[in-house]
A and B are shown apart, each in its own frame.
Chain A
Amino acid sequence: MTPRPPIPLALQVNGRWISVTVAQGTPLLAALRAAGLTGTRFGCGEGHCGVCTVLVNGRPVASCTLATEQVGSAEITTIEGLGSADVAGPVQSAFLDHQAAQCGYCINGIIVALTGLLARRPRPDRAEILAWLDERHICRCGAHLRILRAVDALLAGDASPAAGMAGPGQ
């Protein structure tokens, strides 16, 4: 195998440009994580579990199977673009309000995907959300009920973006 030299690329992530140098074919997930954006996580590496979901031009994409060089100048949104541990975004807040997680490993991908869905269709019905989640995401801990409660609260408009991330980390 001939080693392929790394290529420098500029990516538009969360509203700013970042430079990455990656081997050709490097999944976007690996490039983002190498750039310190580790809120996007590796799950299966095959695009099946939804853990690594990011938005590319607003559409949810499994970043583990997308080659970085194919992203071009598309706008990428990761969980870091939606809020932080100190200042939560609205979807994060709803998830925290409903403690909608167990281990939490799958949740960032779900938050990102839901943000993408709600941006395009502000009032999807429950069946649409179930299908949307079912197609893209796996939760192994059985936090589904809480995730759906958080979604219901978001749809009902009673999420509290300002409440959120009380309490220190461990």
Chain B
Amino acid sequence: MSLPADIAANPKLSTWFALEADGRVVFRTGKVELGQGAVTAIAALAAAELTIQPEALTVVAGDTRSGPDEGLTASSLSIEQGGAAARHAAGVLRERLAEAAARRLGVPVAALHLADGRFSVSGQNLSLGFSDLAGDLDMEADMRRLPVPEPVSDWAQAVPLRRRDLPARLSGPAFVHDLVRHDMRHGRVLRPPHPGAVLEAADRAALAALPGVDTVVIDGGFVGIVAADEYTADRAASAGERHLRWRLARRLPPCEPDQAWLEDVAPHLVETLLDEADAGVSLSAPDLAATFARPFIAHAAIAPSCAVAEWQDNRLTVWAHSQGPFLLAGALARALDLPEEAVAVVHSPGAGAYGHNGADDVALDAALLARAAGAPVMVRWSRRDEMVWAPRGPAMRIRLAAKLDHETGRIAAWSSEVFSPPHLGRPQRGLAAPGVDLLAAWSRARPVPPAPPRSLPGPGTGDRNAIPGYAVGARRIRHHLLPQGTLRTSALRALGAHANVFAIEGFMDELAALAGADPLEFRLRHLDDDRGRGILEIAAGAAGWDGRPAGGDGHGMGIGYARYKNTGAWCAVVAEVVVETEVRLIRLVAAVDCGAVVHRDGALNQIEGGVLQAASWTLLESLSWDADGVIGTGWDSYPVLGFAKVPAVDVHLAHRPASAPLGAGECATGPTTAAIANAAAAALGVRLRRLPLTPSGLRAAIDEI
């Protein structure tokens, strides 16, 4: 075993653990609880290495004042990275404690027996608990210089886990929205109704005269008010709109399902991921070419973004539901011209986050208003703020072309051209990072622009899963990274993998039809990866693929498959649908191989949620606006999957106790969308290449033949 990256970056044992005088063992993780059960699982891994019950640990998650910097809780890496670090740190603590116990008891370490957090020696009555040994330990020890501990527990937890955080969430205060600080006040930022609008004029006196308003901030185009309570602040924010004048500076792109406008935008960067010999030549006259598209997809969190900020002697503490407390702290320091150590960020839960939403932005809003008010301030966005101002998942357009070897029935060459605005607009770590990726910073009197668009190696953003996981002959894969447009975009669950898998899997069905092959058999024909083949076969077997309806009469089944990021969990989904005027989901069968499963119910919960959220994206979701660029902001104009439309869902997990764990939260999104679209296409006998599959989308696809 080697040193986990998060341990190398946070090498002091005291960053991870504290043995309190009252006997409590405090465990700190840099990963945060986003409603996935990740912190429950990570704490259980640490507890198992200490031979104690998970409930015996006091857990601190995502606190820049005391815990490790583990970057983001994102990208399905929480267990893989955060869990590995927790196991390592706990193992080091256990071995240090064992050495101390051996010294005290005058026996070699090998003679010690450890169970339930107590060291004993057979034949002796004496035993020592962790708190008895606390004083003997050098908690400042550098784990890079200590032996790598040998794990005493398995990744897969023997005991089913229950979420540590749920009892509080399901009964009373638990979210940042519920936080109360002494003398706390409530702020609102008055943002324009259109993302391309800029402030022309603000009537400060009129804003200050609004009932209950005690502080007004006008800093360039940033306008905020503060009042004593939430309702007064809400009323003032809404009444204050008429004291501001906005000008439309930037227009929105065309709101059309083919997303053809993306090809007209001058790219920031064109990355060639692969350009293998002969791909260009053999693709000059492809046997099949098709273009797929998905729209902008909103986080549409059930709760508005919220944060609390408190200043004391030019030091700032912010409670935020950020996915990256340390990254946010760095961006706040840059935005506010503060040294990094003057900013603390404490993670406090928000509503489900599926990527980079408004959680970071609202933290700067709160910091600016709290500084002006001279008191702690909570800022809570409105639903309109969420839909108009929070980053969203980008629209994407993907052109695919392939050459088929008609003799072998195999794909001989494959080309992908992916057009996408940025999937990464997050705050970046440290004072040296360029720009400030926090909304309020861009419109202040002394504006700080966001960082330029960026990609990730891997391939990690719009090109995530752009390379097919199949053996497709010579490949040419290009990623056209577009600049930020009027509609700001950033990370949404699975990033580019969602649209890329939708496109590749739709295209595989089209190629299978061209080759006269069964879609499942055609996939297996091109798949060398045993675990991938295994998971496809599990899903197909469980769904009864062989006995599926013939299609063409409104009833169909479809399949979707991918290995997330080509390095993560394997997932296959089979969908069964009935299509009349709309697509009705009958059943979704998912099979996932995410290696050793630490927290079985947590993994199932993530996969179920990923499947249903992707079903919602596929059937319903598209950020839309009218001719004047007014974005619909209510739940009625951005509907999501409701209870009445939820199908039967079966999730099958591969049993891989000896493999390394892989995250499960994102792997199902692409395969689910692909399976539903392929099922609906089979039911209709018409290819479906544009999302969402609304009644009007289906009509458009039928009209095109």
Contacts and interface: CB of A to CB of B under 8 A. Distances in A.
A102 B301 CA distance: 12
A45 B234 contact: yes
Contacts of A23: 211-212, 231-232, 235
Interface stretch (B124-132, B193-201, B344-352, B515-523): B344-352
A165 to B, nearest CB: 4
Contacts of B634: 44, 46, 48
B640 interface: yes
Contacts of B174: 104
Chain A interface secondary structure, helix, strand, loop or mixed? loop
Given A38-B172, A145-B649, A45 B642 contact: no
A23 B35 CA distance: 35
A59 interface: no
B613 interface: yes
B302 A80 contact: no
Contact of B351 (A3, A83, A105): A105
A80 B177 CA distance: 17
Contacts of A13: none
Contacts of B645: 134
B229 interface: yes
B302 A1 contact: no
B168 A169 contact: yes
Interface string A139-170: 11111111110000000000000001111111
B239 A1 contact: yes
Interface residues of B, number: 71
B175 interface: yes
A107 B164 contact: no
Contacts of A167: 54-55, 162-164, 167
B303 A130 contact: no
Interface stretch (B71-79, B564-572, B601-609): B601-609
A144 B170 CA distance: 16
B71 to A, nearest CB: 20
Contact of B167 (A3, A43, A96, A131): A96
Contact of A101 (B34, B170, B303, B646): B170
Interface of A: 1-4, 22-23, 26-27, 30, 33-34, 38-39, 41-46, 48-49, 51, 79-80, 83-86, 88, 92, 95-96, 99, 101-108, 111, 130-131, 133-134, 137-148, 164-170
Interface pairs A-B: 5 shortest CB-CB: A103-B35, A142-B612, A142-B609, A104-B169, A103-B352
Interface of B: 33-37, 39, 54-55, 58-61, 162-175, 177-178, 210-212, 229-232, 234-235, 239, 300-304, 349-353, 380, 382-383, 601, 605, 608-613, 616, 634-636, 640-646, 649
7 contacts: A23-B235, A79-B171, A104-B166, A105-B351, A107-B170, A141-B613, A166-B55
